[in-house]
Amino acid sequence: MNSKETLKTLIEFWDSALKLSQDDKDDIKASMTNDNYLDFAPSKKLADALDNLLTTNKVLDYGCGNAWASLILAKKGAKYVKAVDTSKEGIESAKFILDTYNVSNKVDLEVIDESWLEKQAPNSYDGLICSNVLDVLPLDVSKQIIVNFHNILSKDALLVVGLNFYTDPKVKPLEEGKYIYLDGVLRLLSLSDDEWKGLFEPYFEIVYLDYFAWPGENIERRRLFVLKNK
Ligand SMILES: C[S@@+](CC[C@H](N)C(=O)[O-])C[C@H]1O[C@@H](n2cnc3c(N)ncnc32)[C@H](O)[C@@H]1O
């Protein structure tokens, strides 16, 4: 499958994965309280890392999905959040959640295409969160996104990146040594810590690398990079 077909399949996949049913919406509304917004984060460690972005003027949530990170940033007082995703359903779900938590006026949501990032002006953001996006795309696409992040961020701006855990191709066979496809959909770009560092380091200083787990996982193996723009 070429990159264009992979990206088209991904949009269809994420549209169906991120769509909220009426039952989902009813549940979110029924359980909403003023301070349970943190429950949307896939990990407390990842949510806490967002605190690095609270003093920014303009923060970007790239590949926001249901915009859980934007919700937390807005609730915790970030000045301006822009949340973008290629999935129309993702943005619809984000709108519903932000409306429910009364912060839709604080987050600017947009459905984008893959060319959006390179059209943004240099230095237009001073903080960025990108959770679980670079690791579900073809390597050449992720590499270009990293370069574009460098270009749109001001010098010394912080970039918080959440990534899946590493799957060793010696342990589990991977397509081209790095990809997992499920039902024809690219679900994982598996790179080691050093491989990710190698992609970031020409453009970003590594502030720290930590590990986190999703609910139900016993071992913290997912990667959390906090990076400073060069
Ligand atoms: C695994 S989800 C992560 C969503 C969210 N950031 C989170 O942490 O829950 C991957 C997201 O990346 C989005 N995405 C895929 N390709 C993208 C691209 N080229 N540009 C922006 N977003 C993209 C998908 O639509 C989906 O919402």
**Ligand 1 pocket test: which of 44, 72, 85, 187 has the largest number of ligand atoms within 8 Å of its C-beta?**
85
pLDDT tens digits, one per residue of 25-72: 999 999 999 899 999 999 999 999 999 999 999 999 999 999 999 999
Q: Does residue 141 sit within a domain?
A: yes
- Residues lining ligand 1, CB < 6 A? 10, 14, 18, 62-65, 68, 85-87, 90, 114, 131-133, 136-137
- Look at residue 214 and tell me if it is in a domain: yes
| Domain-embedded: residue 24 | yes
Q: What CATH number should be reported for the domain holding residue 188?
A: 3.40.50.150
Q: Which residue's CA lies nearest to atom 23 of ligand 1?
A: 63
Q: What is the whole-number distance in angstroms between the Cα of residue 89 and the centre of ligand 1?
A: 11
Residue 37 maps to a domain? no
List the beta bridge partners of residue 222. 212
**CA-CA distances (angstroms) from residue 45 to 167, 205, 216?**
21, 20, 15
Cβ 40 vs Cβ 68: under 8 Å: yes
Question: What residue owns the CA closest to ligand 1's atom 9?
Answer: 65
Dist CA 217 CA 215 (whole Å)? 6
Residue 98: inside a domain: yes
Q: Does 26 fall in a domain?
A: yes
**How many structural domains does the chain have?**
1
Specify the residue with its C-alpha closest to ligand 1, atom 1.
Answer: 132
pLDDT digits (tens, 9 = 90+) for 73-88: 999 999 999 999 999 9
pLDDT of 172: 87
State the residue range of the domain holding 63: 3-32+42-229
Q: Does some domain include residue 115?
A: yes
